[in-house]
Amino acid sequence: MVMDINEIREYLPHRYPFLLVDRVTQLTIGESIVAYKNVSINEPFFNGHFPHHPIMPGVLVIEALAQVCGILGFKTVNKLPADGYVYYLVGSDKVRFKRPVMPGDKLTLEADVIKGKRGIWKFACRATVDGELACEAEIICAERKVA
C-alpha cells in the first residue's frame, strides 16, 4: 500500500460523495500513479443512472482519473490543498469509453505524465476493470493558488 484513504484525503479536497479514489497502490513522483475505486451499488448516482441497469456515469470515470492526476501533481510539486492549492480539470482529449463500469467492479485508475510546465500538466490515463479497458483519455490539469 502506497497511500490509504487517510493520506489520499490530505492530497484531495474532495469529500463524499465526490471522493472517487479509495487507495493508491503505486506512485512514482513526476512519472506515474496507479490507484483504484471500489464501485459499490450504494453510490448515490446509481439511483438515477440507471435504476434497472446501473452504470457508473462516464463523466465520473473521467473525474476519478482526474483525481489521481491531482494526487500525482500534488506529490510531484510537494504541495497540499491545505497550503491553499487546488488542481482543476481543465481539459480532456482523446476520450474513449470501451466498457461500462458497474456495481461490484474494482476500477483501476492509471495516469502517466506526458508533460508538465508552469503548473499545467498533461497525463495519459487509463481506467480498467479486471485488466479490461473501460476508458482512456488524455487529461489536462492546472495547479492554482486559491484564497
* Residues acting as catalytic residues: 49
What is each CA distance from 81 to 32, 93, 124, 144, in whole angstroms? 20, 26, 23, 10
The full DSSP string for 20-64 is: ---EEEEEETTTEEEEEEE--TT-GGGGTS-TTS----HHHHHHH
Q: Grid coordinates in use for 70?
A: 491531482
- Residue 113, amino acid: V
Q: Which residue has the cell 494526487?
A: 71
Q: How many Cα atoms occupy the beta-carbon half-sphere of 47 within 13 Å?
A: 4
Distance in angstroms (rounded) separating the CA atoms of residues 47 and 133: 25
